[in-house]
Amino acid sequence: MIIVTGATGQLGRLVVEDLLARVPAGRIVAAVRTPQKAADLAERGIQVREADYDRPDTLKTAFEGADKILLISGNDFGRRVQQHQAVIDAAKDAGAGLLAYTSVLHADTSTLPVAPEHRATEKAIEASGLAYSLLRNGWYNENYVPTAQQGAATGVIIGSAHDGHVSSASRADYAAAAAVVLTTDGHDNTVYELSGDTAFTMDDLAADVTAVTGTPAAYQDMPADAHAKALTDAGLPEPVVEMLVSIDAGTADGWLAGTTGDLSRLTGRPTTPLRTTLAAALGT
């Protein structure tokens, strides 16, 4: 059985869809916190099992018969290492042949604010004795849709990323890579640095917004403290401001810029350009 945790999330649903094109539905288990949200998957022949990262007893049941498990990282920041450890323990108890994990680009060295919990989870997986595949996902194109919408509405995109580059790809690209790892051999104890084929700057982002909407947009770079003040003045809560400014700092330092080619090699196709995602999202 191939078990996908978080299967009703934005990434998880895409992984399940890709799996359906590769293997019979009866081989797929959607492990979800709220089974009712996966009723549509059950109707398509997929087994739906309750799996709550905070309730290890549900994980034990959900992972019965597991051949391969995809651990999609949780979104409860500050508690993810504990939650992920519960999944790792349950996967080991189930005798899973492979545990794949959605980490972050360069998790072992990155200074991005999301990296420490991923780094700790990776170490726990490696210490478990399970065969593993670390899917170090770069940024999603979709992360920039709200920024693009703001740029289209105001003509200005603010930030403190300077001339830093981002090599993002679409969620569907990352989902396809996960599906390949879950359905083919040769991925034991592997680390994939997954990213887009090309990298862009925030100036390039503004140019893409202009191109897809026909409304001129420009990137306004500023020091980190000025960026934080502008976000605070716009009404964003302090934790969100800190996160956004830290991500821009990581972008400036190059932590999202790698173009390793691992993603397109795994999927066998070019990654989705940012402009393509923005055009679909902005309805142009």
Mean pLDDT over residues 150-179, rounded?
95
Alpha carbons 64 and 69: distance in angstroms, whole number: 11
pLDDT (0 to 100) of residue 101: 98
Alpha carbons 88 and 82: distance in angstroms, whole number: 10
**For the domain 2-137, what is the CATH code?**
3.40.50.720
Mean pLDDT over residues 97-108, rounded?
96
Question: Does residue 275 surpass a pLDDT of 80?
Answer: yes
pLDDT (0 to 100) of residue 2: 98
Mean pLDDT over residues 241-254, rounded?
92
pLDDT > 90 fraction of the chain, expressed in percent and rounded: 92
Average pLDDT in the chain? 94
Mean pLDDT over residues 23-45, rounded?
95
Mean pLDDT over residues 244-258, rounded?
92
Pairing of strands 68-71, 132-137: unpaired
Mean pLDDT over residues 35-61, rounded?
94
Predicted confidence (pLDDT) per residue in 50-100, tens digit: 999 999 999 999 999 999 999 999 888 778 999 999 999 999 999 999 999
Q: Where are the domains of the chain?
A: 2-137
Mean pLDDT over residues 1-23, rounded?
96
284 band by pLDDT with thresholds 50, 70 and 90: low
pLDDT (0 to 100) of residue 78: 79
Q: What is the DSSP string of the chain?
A: -EEEETTTSHHHHHHHHHHHTTS-GGGEEEEES-GGGGHHHHHTT-EEEE-BTTBHHHHHHHTTT-SEEEEPPPS-TTSHHHHHHHHHHHHHHHT-SEEEEEEETTTTT--STTHHHHHHHHHHHHHHT--EEEEEE--BGGGGHHHHHHHHHHSEEEES-TT--B--B-HHHHHHHHHHHHHSS--TTEEEEE--SS-B-HHHHHHHHHHHHSS--EEEE--HHHHHHHHHHTT--HHHHHHHHHHHHHHHTTTT----SHHHHHHTSPPPPHHHHHHHHTT-
In the block, tokens 């995809």 appear at 70
pLDDT > 70 fraction of the chain, expressed in percent and rounded: 100
Predicted confidence (pLDDT) per residue in 167-224, tens digit: 999 999 999 999 999 999 999 999 999 999 999 999 999 999 999 999 999 999 999 9
pLDDT (0 to 100) of residue 283: 72
pLDDT (0 to 100) of residue 189: 98
pLDDT (0 to 100) of residue 76: 81
Alpha carbons 112 and 116: distance in angstroms, whole number: 8
pLDDT (0 to 100) of residue 156: 95
Assess contact for 98 and 92: CB atoms under 8 A.
no
Alpha carbons 50 and 211: distance in angstroms, whole number: 44
